Amino acid sequence: MVSDDGGVAPDPMTRAREKAAASMSVAAGAWVDALDDHQLSFAVLPSPLDSTAETERLRWFFTPTDHGGLAVRDQNAHQQSLAMQLVATGLSAEGFAAVATVMGLENILDQVEGWGSRWGRRRGRDPGLYWLRLFGRPGAEVWGWRFGGHHISLNYLIIADRLVATTPCFIGADPARTEFLGSTLRPLQGAEDAGRELLSTFRAPQLRQALLHTSAMSNIVSGNRPRVRHGDTMMHLQDLWRGRFPDPELDALVNDIDRRAEANSGYTQADHAQVAITIPSKGISARDLDDEQRHLLRRLLTRYTGRAPQDLAAAHRAHHARDSVLDEVHFGWAGGTDEGEPHYYRVQGPNILIEYNNTQRDGNHAHSVWRDLHSDFGLCELAEHRARILPH
């Protein structure tokens, strides 16, 4: 592609990454400018080039633990608005709607649990406990930001005014289904239904290829690891928090939740090894799907890459429209195939990992994550940048 000045114009993916980075820089700058010194001490850490800040950047969570940064509830109304404007720059309109809805579900979950959940704080399920943190200042050569709380983790890295990482991107929902007046709210409906629709088209030999296990594990397999590697097995609940609880009762509660989840799944160590993440991928290859099934697999992919800022989501969609790219993608399923049964699916290619599970609370507590097997957190791009700037 030739630009107006006769040079080579950037490809759509690069343009989308530059546009997203510019929007993020403006929104992040406005938020930072609105904070006082005390708030800034929580909100902004040094650049990812700082080793201590980088260690913290790679610690991410999707449990109701302290995610690190400045909590929404510790900001005034104007600051909260600016914070959410930054969050919106990291998402498509549909993605932002999902995130905002999941935050609001904390009120419903509080009611479901009889207003009694604490998790070591006065209110255990709190829509104000979502944390925003910057790593470096907006507009710097290298900076990043994250937003997270219960069932939300959004992670971004910008290098040289280009958004290089949008993963890990986690969105969950508890409850996964909530009755409205005459309708049902399902924040992750698109992700669940697209996976089940693809599965429903499989003939018996295809189903045998796709089936990872006849029952579903109790959580996503990749957990909150900063990197996903060959052989990774499911992380247990105790390891998904920012440290262990000093309160023995809370520590015992977490152990009991995990024990009951494992008992319900029926999984043993051998079962976990059977569904471990592997490279190359498990499951059925897109090469073994017919045209309609390949269309459904592409649609499933967009339920995740479509969370990215609009132009970037379109670039991802165009990328997976290429047959040579889709050929490398595999789909795997574990658990029941009927609606309402606990289940899990995985979509994996050389540079992408998607996981979805809905197993807890009798199939009414869903987790979904989009990851980059090549460069979650922009680690590869950051390493390349370090190599360029450091003296030989």
At 370-390, the pLDDT tens digits run 999 999 999 999 999 999 987
Distance from C-alpha of 344 to C-alpha of 334, rounded to nearest angstrom: 5
Distance from C-alpha of 338 to C-alpha of 17, rounded to nearest angstrom: 39
Does residue 107 carry a pLDDT above 90?
yes
At 42-66, the pLDDT tens digits run 999 999 999 999 999 999 999 999 9
Q: For the purposes of burial, counting CB atoms within 10 Å of the CB of 323, is it exposed (0-12), middle (13-18) or buried (19 or more)?
A: exposed
Between the alpha carbon of residue 228 and those of residues 262, 274, 366, the distances in Å are 22, 17, 21
Distance from C-alpha of 171 to C-alpha of 96, rounded to nearest angstrom: 11
Q: What is the pTM of this model?
A: 0.96
Does residue 228 carry a pLDDT above 80?
yes
Q: Residue 77: which pLDDT band, with cuts at 50, 70 and 90?
A: very high
Mean pLDDT of the chain: 95
**Predicted pLDDT at 7:** 58
